[in-house]
Structure 1
Amino acid sequence: MTPRGRGDLRARVSRGFRDYYAGPYRRRLARSARDEQDLLMMVVLAEELGVPNPAAFYTLELLPAVYGEMHAWHRRAGLERSPFDTVACC
């Protein structure tokens, strides 16, 4: 077996072990990341939702960053259209 063949075999075995051990958790980690993103959207958009936001001073500068994610967020929340008058994404 050539040295290159061993490297390819080692890489394939490494990928196989990574998929075997990390595979079952991949979906849960993705869901956790999505839940954290949804929580951030709720905190940043709290004033628009009518919830008093004690951190409004800090979250105000995050508004431009979350406007791009607005469509995906309200679709995951089960809303056909954006619930906000100031943000029209659809």
Structure 2
Amino acid sequence: MRGTLSAFSAGLREFYEAPYRRTLARAHRDEDDLFTLVVLAEALGVPNPASYYTVEMLPLVADRVHEWHTRLGMDRSPLDHVSCC
């Protein structure tokens, strides 16, 4: 009985979540792109009032620069000191 209920619950969860999975993945990707832009703003030449706090996050974002600029449609990295291509 317990296995049947958990299978039914999993089926209902899939039924209700499936239509929104792509939309939520796109929203998450857009949020990650915005976060990357905020962290790299100072390196791109955009004045960033929070650069003191975002400089600590550069190592977290540095390995995803290639994914970020190719997703935004840039052939090469816009950062002079980061050559990923």
TM-score by length of 2: 0.90
After TM superposition, what 4+ stretches of structure 1 lie above 4 angstroms from structure 2? none
Q: Which amino acid aligns with 2:73?
A: G
**Is there any run of 5+ residues in structure 1 with no aligned partner, and where?**
1-5
Identity of aligned residues (%): 54
Root-mean-square deviation over aligned CA pairs: 1.2
What is the number of residues matched between the two proteins?
85
SS of equivalent residue, structure 2 residue 69: helix
1:76 equivalent in structure 2:
71
Q: Which amino acid aligns with 1:35?
A: D
**Is there any run of 5+ residues in structure 2 with no aligned partner, and where?**
none
TM-score by length of 1: 0.85
Work out which of the two has the higher radius of gyration on C-alpha atoms and give 1 or 2.
Answer: 1
2:47 equivalent in structure 1:
52
Match of 1:61 among 56, 65, 75: 56
| Pairs within 5 Å for 1:1-90 | 6-90=1-85
SS of equivalent residue, structure 1 residue 85: coil
